[in-house]
Structure 1
Amino acid sequence: MKKLIKIFITILASLAGILLSFYIIAYSMGAPDLNKNRYLKLYDDNQEIYYQSINDYTGHYVTLDNVSKYFIDSIVAIEDQRFYEHRGFDPIGIMRAIKVNLTNQKKSQGASTITQQYARLLYLTNEKSWSRKFKEAFLTMQLETHLNKDDILEGYINNVYFGHGIYGIENAAQYFYGKSAKELDLNESSMLAGVVNGPTYFSPLNDQKAARKRQTIVLNALIDCNKINNQQKQQVLKSDLNLATEHKINDNLANNFYKDTVIDELEELGYYNNTYLNQGLNVYTTFNQGYQKVLEKSAKDYTKDSEVETSSIVVEPYTSKILALIGGKDYTISQFNRATKSNRQIGSTVKPLLYYLALENGFTPSTTFLDEPTTFKLEDNTTYSPSNYNNKYAYKDITLAQAIAVSDNIFAVKTHLFLGTDNLASLIKKFDIKNVKSNASLALGTVNTNIYNLANMYNTLASEGIYNHVYTIEKITNNEGDILYQHKAEDKQMLNQDTCLELSQLLTATFDSTYSTYLQATMAAYQLDNINACKTGSTDFDNLAVAYNPNILVASWVGYDDNRKMKSTNDKTVAKKTVVDVLNYTNENKDVTWYQPTKNIQAIAINPLTGDFDENGIIYWFKKE
């Protein structure tokens, strides 16, 4: 037994020695850089700043003297009661967390101190790895050996996240209560301190019941620390929430969906890390505030009385610049970027890619198939019985032009099986879309992706076959003005120019009511003053629309986050109305033109319903023999 005790003491002494060595190293490296000069500035296409990182917000940083004592006591009580006693790591808290995690499988508990959280906020990304944990631990030691506790706490409360796109206690006080951080009372302070642990779950703007429950835990912690008594606790719980009637901060939060997309791109390019951020980053983007306002207004106007969500993206053909983007209707409620991260079935918006292949293989606008209920026997001896919208059929031959105009499913599947299902799957995969299954239903859009990727595909059609991946970042410079990155166009001729032009002319048919016979032309209700290509798509759970001309491309999606079926007629039209708003805005602010056929293409007027030559018919483009 004595031998075991001696071994145990030796191990403890060794660990203590190692820990002391790390503290000495941390101290010898000098005072940590608090990154007060570190910044991230995003510029729009007019080189005006539309976002700058929280560490550089003039007037938003507050000293402890300008923060309510109630909030300071509350945040310490709930996040790190022993903050003023430990040296960055709390052994008692760690042992308590281990005990809870071992004895209660339904409840987990962390043991991060305020200093550790501050280190994470200042220096580190959210990457989950042992490497990150080691760096966090070392930075914690560096903070503790060079700063006093009040400096650490002050830095922490100015950087911590309160949800709704809000960082820092001053912003939070203004946003939730319409007052300064110094004016917060016990009720308001205990509520905000509770929000920090889970901004999405404990925000009183999202769930008042959950927020009150969390506030009670904060008040109990204050009692444990002898900062308040039970009478004060009961008085708070009986009082109103006292939330502001309007929730505002200086930032335009709607821009944050675009900002988040830029940061994702920064990460992909390798510039969103301490090596570059500590130099100060000026990021010149393709952001166009005019188009952004159109998307924001459309989302607000068309979804205000519904739980439905929407996302949209605007791209400039040929350059592939992303001019505007929203990932949801309200960033303050949900920061999830549906434009780039929500993978949903794209429905009939896949059909232009299918018809591109058809035109490449001898189809023309006049090509016809019999449209009637059809059961297809597939190569594996199974059967497939697709249906048209509302089970409506022409019961006669229809042209490719009309099939596009009304989004006929029978025509699409016949084309798909005629060409071979592998061809469409292969084309979609060229755009880096994963998990594409080569089957009969692929012609109707049974592939999951987001509108960011969808716009990337359509942009190649809109750019006459030239591929450049859509992007937001033009140039990156540091604080010294050194150019760290400059965007370079790839200009890859991925698709045939003539075929893309022929297809674009065909996609104008969706606006033409001439085709509204057994089914309505999908965009016939929306008449514009200029020529545009458009394709819509729908499933039981999603509605999409993509439209373009040589000047602009817009893609929009609408649906429910919980995959409820789309039933409301108004909800189903949100995507269509949004693309029309963008097209109209473009027509009002630019000299919009239409494509010109090459020398390999001839314009021929046809009867749109039969495909026969008709000098009084609709003009489509045909490749010369």
Structure 2
Amino acid sequence: MAHSDPDRPSPEKPRPGESPPDAGAAAREAAAAARTLVRQLGYLGGSAARGLGRRLTGMVRANRKAGHDTGPRAMKPARQAAAPAVIAQAQRRRPILPALLALVGLPLALLAGLVLYSFATLPPLGGVAAETGQRALTVEADDGRVFATRGTFQGQKLTAADLPPRMAQAIIAIEDRRFRSHWGVDPRGLVRALWRNATGGGIREGGSTITQQYVRLTSLTQEKTLRRKIQEAFLALRVESTMSKDDILLGYLNTAYFGAGAYGLDAAARRYFGKGAKALTLPESAMLAGLVRAPSQLAPTRNFGGAKERADVVLQAMVETGAITAAEADKARAETVTLRTPPETPPGTNYFLDMVSADAKRLADTSGDVTVRTTLNLDLQSLAEGVVARRMDAEGKKKKAGQAAMVVMNKEGAILAMVGGRDYEESQFNRAIQAKRQAGSLFKLFVYLTAYETGFTPETVLVDRPTQIGDWEPQNSTGRFKGAMPLRTAFAQSVNTVAAQLADEVGIPAVIATARRLGVTSELPNVPSLALGSAEVTLLEMTRAYAGVLAGLAPVEAYGVHAIRGGAPQPLYLRPETRGGKALPTEARAMMLESLQAVVDGGTGKGARVSGLPVGGKTGTTQDYRDAWFIGMTPDLVVGVWVGNDDNSSMNRVGGGDIPASLFRDFIQRASAQMARGRKRTSAARAEPAPATPPVPPREVASAAGTAIGGVPDVIDTGTLAFRGRTVRLLGVDGEGGALARQLARYLRRRDVVCTPATGDGDPALRCQIDGNDLSAIILAAGGGRASEDAPADLLAAEEQARSERLGLWGRER
């Protein structure tokens, strides 16, 4: 038992029913602690001085015994002749005394000054709030699957009754084994940390106690200075005198950062495991306890393997401290720890997430963690990202096209997929909703619809001829004129002179009014060149305008949020089921849809044709090929595509019927097949929380062909998967690494794969299935790898399909 110190203020812990000590009492206790420290420093300095004096006295006596006494009584007549030399030698030795005094006293004086200054600038307890940033968003796709989180999770403040005993034991074992016995500062632990760091060649262990970490989180900044450490020690002593050990531990766990935006134990439990802190198991508690030392590096959403290894260290520490037995530790290590949130936000969805985060704040600006059910279709999103990446990789550099954007929505305005650029990490600028570019011939939709509403028809004939409206003389892209033609043909061939004449006939103000009805909000100047798209607009507003024609209502509201839920059962926001807007004139709409289909059937949008599927759309190309657009539609979807360069430089003759139309076709061909298969969706309107989809651990599966393996794999290359250390080679695929492997990893993220032996004769290759489809066939059909020598006929056919369509690696080799 430690002896009591008469100069140490006695702990004043509040009794039940009493309020804690006031600020004055706290200041007096802290002042007393400071006086004690200064007095101890004085004792230390005095002892050092007395020790130095005794040493000097001993040196003088030794000199006398050796016959070197320089005092008067030692001056014998026989030696008087040597006196000047002795005196000179003594004078040379005399500066040693002040030098030694300075060597000892100066550091002590500096230390005392720093201690006093640190005490004088001591902040109040609890004066620093944790930097929590924006509230936490848990983001769900349209079918209820959680695919992303944003912001910081706060959770609930725990009480003593909510704290799992195993969690308390785990955090003490790994962070501060002497927590129950020290007074806030642990000299033994500090010396041990210094020794291990010195012998380990770097900072391997910290000497701070849990109490010191608590006061640093709640009262100090994170600067790494000696002054902060001294203040940390002062405040730790103060906290220990006013709070119980259990309250200190609880306060620390309520404020500590556990990575992945989770502050506090309850927030971490919900963030990683989808449960409150009270329900944590031993292996889960060990994993969370291991995070506080390096939360950003060990967050299991980013580094599950590292978090698991650290949890094993925590379990061993618990065994060493007697908190658990070795058998309990072994059992905990064998248990599967399952995350209930996605391991990492898919990079391509971040453009959509940026938009949804702003919408959620606008629709439900409230504090606390919220869950947002969005309109995003993860399958279509992955498909959109893939077709943009493949096509731009294959043709972008050759055609001097650096960027592309895509918006996919249904005719009600729900945004199902969004690609805001080729690489979110390189540029967060969302070209689908932020970039304003000239629309070119895409704007002719409003000219022709206005004309059809005022009596013109697709059969009305105008003449393609030199035209002048005021000082403006529009030109065709070919530089030639074709004479008389019906409006259907003029629209399909995107004849500029006819569009200019038509706009002049109906009036530019009427064209602007039509664009406004369909949802265009950008500035539209009242000038003749507006008919050819001289105004700058965004891809999203033009896509919603075309969706209005498909739906027959104007305007269609583009939206990405179905519902927002907080902690209460009642949703914070629920999108109304009723559809707004006014109906378009039926006859004019039908003529407009017919004209749009003519563009794809035989006009500038022929590159967007999809066999067996009715498709309409419109191309747009601006001056000097700075922007290329295509917005197309099927009976169910509207897809808007823009291609260009961020610096507004010209491309190599890329028009709307080139890369944009090809991107539309690539997407629709595969999307229509996916939508035809269909999938059961959770009701977004009812805003029901969807069950989380945890990663599936590897497991043995009974199979007629033998033992199989299933779970969520890691991708080594497009022909090789790994299930928690067990490597699986896909039948019939010679794998590719690099970008193709990364695309496959995004496709497989959080999805269950089951692999069975291809034959029963020990063949190491396995056939794997995902959602009932053969994974090898999917990879080969997308150009993700080459068919190997052992590939059966169906896989060779899949490779041939990819070759013919120049997909994946076959597009690179063109």
Q: TM-score, normalised by structure 2?
A: 0.45
CA–CA distance in 2 between the matches of 1:333 and 1:556? 20
- Which of 452, 457, 461 aligns to 1:364? It is 457
- Which of 297, 300, 304 aligns to 1:170? It is 297
From the superposition, tell whether residues 156 and 478 of structure 1 become closer, same or farther in structure 2 (CA, over 3 Å).
closer
2:136 corresponds to which letter in structure 1? Answer: Y
**Structure 1 equivalent of residue 570 of structure 2:** 482
Q: Following TM superposition, by how much is the alpha carbon of 1:464 offset from its aligned partner in structure 2, in angstroms?
A: 1.2
**Structure 1 equivalent of residue 634 of structure 2:** 549
CA–CA distance in 1 between the matches of 2:439 and 2:540? 12
Which residues in structure 2 correspond to 1:46-57 (within 5 Å)? Answer: 46-53=143-150, 55=152
Q: Following TM superposition, by how much is the alpha carbon of 1:352 offset from its aligned partner in structure 2, in angstroms?
A: 1.1
**Structure 2 equivalent of residue 388 of structure 1:** 476
CA deviations on 1:165-199 (whole Å, 9 max, x unpaired) are: xx984289998x9996999xxxxxxxxxxxxxxxx
Aligned sequence identity (%): 23
**Structure 2 equivalent of residue 98 of structure 1:** none
CA–CA distance in 1 between the matches of 2:473 and 2:488? 23
Q: Following TM superposition, by how much is the alpha carbon of 1:525 offset from its aligned partner in structure 2, in angstroms?
A: 6.7
CA deviations on 1:345-397 (whole Å, 9 max, x unpaired) are: 111111111111000111111111111232x142xxxx111111121321x20
From the superposition, tell whether residues 159 and 402 of structure 1 become closer, same or farther in structure 2 (CA, over 3 Å).
same
Q: Following TM superposition, by how much is the alpha carbon of 1:315 offset from its aligned partner in structure 2, in angstroms?
A: 0.6
From the superposition, tell whether residues 34 and 458 of structure 1 become closer, same or farther in structure 2 (CA, over 3 Å).
same
Q: Following TM superposition, by how much is the alpha carbon of 1:581 offset from its aligned partner in structure 2, in angstroms?
A: 2.4
| 1:400 is the counterpart of 2:487 | yes
Q: Following TM superposition, by how much is the alpha carbon of 1:468 offset from its aligned partner in structure 2, in angstroms?
A: 3.1
From the superposition, tell whether residues 478 and 173 of structure 1 become closer, same or farther in structure 2 (CA, over 3 Å).
closer
CA deviations on 1:130-180 (whole Å, 9 max, x unpaired) are: xxxxxxxxxxxxxxxx99xx99997498669xxxxxx984289998x9996
Q: Following TM superposition, by how much is the alpha carbon of 1:265 offset from its aligned partner in structure 2, in angstroms?
A: 1.4
- Which of 394, 407, 424 aligns to 1:331? It is 424
CA deviations on 1:174-228 (whole Å, 9 max, x unpaired) are: 98x9996999xxxxxxxxxxxxxxxxxxxxxxxxxxxxxxxxxxxxxxxxxxxxx
The residue matched to 2:668 in structure 1 has which SS?
Answer: helix
**Structure 2 equivalent of residue 349 of structure 1:** 442
From the superposition, tell whether residues 389 and 479 of structure 1 become closer, same or farther in structure 2 (CA, over 3 Å).
same
Q: Following TM superposition, by how much is the alpha carbon of 1:417 offset from its aligned partner in structure 2, in angstroms?
A: 0.5
CA deviations on 1:538-595 (whole Å, 9 max, x unpaired) are: 1131101101133111101011001111115499733212211232234323469xxx
Q: Following TM superposition, by how much is the alpha carbon of 1:399 offset from its aligned partner in structure 2, in angstroms?
A: 0.8
Structure 2 alignment gaps of length 5 or more = 1-119, 156-170, 177-201, 207-220, 229-247, 263-293, 310-341, 678-814
CA–CA distance in 1 between the matches of 2:134 and 2:503? 58
**Structure 2 equivalent of residue 301 of structure 1:** 390
CA–CA distance in 1 between the matches of 2:205 and 2:554? 57
**Structure 1 equivalent of residue 355 of structure 2:** 261
| 1:417 is the counterpart of 2:504 | yes
Larger RCO (CA within 8 A; separation ≥ 6): 1
Which residues in structure 2 correspond to 1:432-447 (within 5 Å)? Answer: 432-447=520-535
CA–CA distance in 2 between the matches of 1:71 and 1:437? 67
CA–CA distance in 2 between the matches of 1:591 and 1:566? 36
CA–CA distance in 1 between the matches of 2:463 and 2:655? 33
From the superposition, tell whether residues 55 and 538 of structure 1 become closer, same or farther in structure 2 (CA, over 3 Å).
same
CA–CA distance in 2 between the matches of 1:556 and 1:322? 14
| 1:43 is the counterpart of 2:146 | no
Note if contact 1:157-1:169 (Cα within 8 Å) is conserved in structure 2: yes
From the superposition, tell whether residues 398 and 524 of structure 1 become closer, same or farther in structure 2 (CA, over 3 Å).
farther
What is the root-mean-square deviation in Å for CA atoms of aligned residues? 4.4
The residue matched to 1:331 in structure 2 has which SS?
Answer: coil
From the superposition, tell whether residues 172 and 302 of structure 1 become closer, same or farther in structure 2 (CA, over 3 Å).
farther
**Structure 2 equivalent of residue 454 of structure 1:** 542
**Structure 2 equivalent of residue 584 of structure 1:** 669
2:511 corresponds to which letter in structure 1? Answer: L
| 1:251 is the counterpart of 2:338 | no
- Which of 525, 530, 552 aligns to 2:613? It is 530
CA deviations on 1:514-550 (whole Å, 9 max, x unpaired) are: xxxxxx5332573432111100101131101101133
Q: Following TM superposition, by how much is the alpha carbon of 1:45 offset from its aligned partner in structure 2, in angstroms?
A: 1.4
CA–CA distance in 1 between the matches of 2:514 and 2:205? 57
CA deviations on 1:381-431 (whole Å, 9 max, x unpaired) are: xx111111121321x201111111111101100000011111112222342
1:565 corresponds to which letter in structure 2? Answer: S
**Structure 2 equivalent of residue 75 of structure 1:** none
From the superposition, tell whether residues 52 and 432 of structure 1 become closer, same or farther in structure 2 (CA, over 3 Å).
same
From the superposition, tell whether residues 64 and 362 of structure 1 become closer, same or farther in structure 2 (CA, over 3 Å).
farther
Note if contact 1:543-1:558 (Cα within 8 Å) is conserved in structure 2: yes
CA deviations on 1:428-478 (whole Å, 9 max, x unpaired) are: 234252321011100111111111111121111110134331101111111
CA–CA distance in 2 between the matches of 1:81 and 1:483? 38
The residue matched to 1:264 in structure 2 has which SS?
Answer: helix
The residue matched to 1:42 in structure 2 has which SS?
Answer: strand
The residue matched to 1:384 in structure 2 has which SS?
Answer: coil
- Which of 262, 266, 288 aligns to 2:377? It is 288
Note if contact 1:315-1:321 (Cα within 8 Å) is conserved in structure 2: yes
The residue matched to 1:51 in structure 2 has which SS?
Answer: strand
**Structure 2 equivalent of residue 316 of structure 1:** 410
Note if contact 2:409-2:417 (Cα within 8 Å) is conserved in structure 1: yes
Q: TM-score, normalised by structure 1?
A: 0.58
Note if contact 1:467-1:494 (Cα within 8 Å) is conserved in structure 2: no
Note if contact 1:159-1:168 (Cα within 8 Å) is conserved in structure 2: no
**Structure 2 equivalent of residue 567 of structure 1:** 652
The residue matched to 1:389 in structure 2 has which SS?
Answer: coil
Q: Following TM superposition, by how much is the alpha carbon of 1:332 offset from its aligned partner in structure 2, in angstroms?
A: 2.0
**Structure 2 equivalent of residue 189 of structure 1:** none
From the superposition, tell whether residues 43 and 159 of structure 1 become closer, same or farther in structure 2 (CA, over 3 Å).
closer
**Structure 2 equivalent of residue 596 of structure 1:** none
From the superposition, tell whether residues 343 and 151 of structure 1 become closer, same or farther in structure 2 (CA, over 3 Å).
farther
CA–CA distance in 2 between the matches of 1:525 and 1:580? 5
Larger Rg: 2
From the superposition, tell whether residues 286 and 86 of structure 1 become closer, same or farther in structure 2 (CA, over 3 Å).
farther
The residue matched to 1:483 in structure 2 has which SS?
Answer: coil
CA–CA distance in 1 between the matches of 2:585 and 2:362? 30
Q: Following TM superposition, by how much is the alpha carbon of 1:46 offset from its aligned partner in structure 2, in angstroms?
A: 1.0
Note if contact 1:42-1:52 (Cα within 8 Å) is conserved in structure 2: yes
Q: Following TM superposition, by how much is the alpha carbon of 1:339 offset from its aligned partner in structure 2, in angstroms?
A: 0.7
From the superposition, tell whether residues 440 and 553 of structure 1 become closer, same or farther in structure 2 (CA, over 3 Å).
same
The residue matched to 1:362 in structure 2 has which SS?
Answer: coil
1:315 corresponds to which letter in structure 2? Answer: M
CA–CA distance in 2 between the matches of 1:370 and 1:553? 32
CA–CA distance in 2 between the matches of 1:71 and 1:426? 69
From the superposition, tell whether residues 153 and 570 of structure 1 become closer, same or farther in structure 2 (CA, over 3 Å).
farther
Note if contact 2:258-2:299 (Cα within 8 Å) is conserved in structure 1: no
Note if contact 1:320-1:469 (Cα within 8 Å) is conserved in structure 2: yes
CA–CA distance in 1 between the matches of 2:532 and 2:175? 60
